Amino acid sequence: MPAAAIGLREREYWLVGVLIAITSALAWLLLWRFAHSPTLHYLHHAQLIGPPVNGTYLLGSLLFVGGWTVMTIAMMLPTSIPLVSIFNRIAHDRPERGLLTALVIVGYLSAWIGFGALAYVFAIGIHRASLELTSITEPMLIAGILLLAGAFQFSSVKYKCLSKCRSPFGFVVEHWTGENHMRQAWWLGMHHGLFCVGCCWALMLLMVFAGAGNLSVMFALGSIMAVEKNLRWGRHMVRPVGALLFALGLLVASRTDSLSSSRALYMNRCPAPSTSTR
């Protein structure tokens, strides 16, 4: 193959990564713009109080899924750069290579948007339960999701899905035959996105219960997931992150118990209201 052709492919390989990075940067800018507005905070379960408009959840669901999509583009799309770039290189002989690459990205985001819709339903259920059971407090919910996310880091499902995410070349070779290329490109992205959801769903769910509107938390979690999926030593980071999340969950839970006990003690020490009349 001529050196000029090889150089052109290398430039295209890096161009895909640059375009995804720019798209992600724009999503971060949009998140920063709305960080202090009610719009972004609709991602938080506490905002899911009741039917927003005309007795339906349509507006609330659209706001949630829209904000979730922007958050996914900012946090998760950059982690797919190796897969998308490798696919673009392998599909170099297709004249519609750009469209196929875009379909891979759309398929990847579709998996995360679908999970966002499920997260919305889950958050509504949790919030309604917390309203009916007054013993469930906000710190208890945060502690529970931290413990869940920490425990999941040690699960076999986490490692199985992570192994797929960490092998983008093998994944593309396994799932791309070039037949029904449009549909197959979308499904390749969707399939990889499902493994990505399986790997990172618990960390992303933290955003709904603890970090919506907090760009620092978003950036920290996005960085952790990018390292786990793409760096050579990222696999060794999974369990330390799980231990840290579990420790944070125990800390929040212990403070919640202490606060509840102190309130109960205070109430027990309060004198009973006088019923005497003058």
Kindly report, residue by residue over 108-133, the tens digit of the pLDDT. Answer: 999 999 999 898 888 888 777 776 77
The total domain count for the chain is: 1
Task: Give the pLDDT mean for 3-27.
Answer: 74
pLDDT bin (cut points 50, 70, 90) of residue 247 is: very high
Residue 89 maps to a domain: yes
Mean pLDDT of the chain: 81
266 pLDDT higher than 70: no
Q: Is residue 109 domain-resident?
A: yes
Question: Would 268 be classed as within a structural domain?
Answer: no
The answer to whether residue 200 sits within a structural domain is yes
* Token representation of residue 193: 């996105």
Please check whether residue 272 lies inside any domain of the structure: no
Amino acid 94 reads R
Q: Which domain holds residue 188?
A: 3-263
Predicted TM-score (pTM) above 0.75: yes
**Overall average pLDDT of the 29-44 stretch:** 72
In a domain? residue 140: yes
pLDDT digits 0-9 by tens, 37-88: 666 666 665 555 444 444 456 777 787 888 889 889 999 999 999 999 999 8
What residues contact 106, with CB distance under 8 A and at least 6 apart? 186, 189
What does the pLDDT average to over 19-42? 81
Report the Cα 57 to chain-centroid distance in Å: 22
CA angle 157, 163, 164 (to 5 degrees): 95
Domain contains 278: no
> Can you tell me the distance from the alpha carbon of 239 to that of 250, in angstroms, rounded to the nearest whole number?
16
Helices (H) and strands (E) in the chain, counts: 11, 0
Confirm whether 30 is domain-assigned.
yes
Cα dihedral sign, 57-61-62-64: positive
Residue 81's pLDDT is what? 92
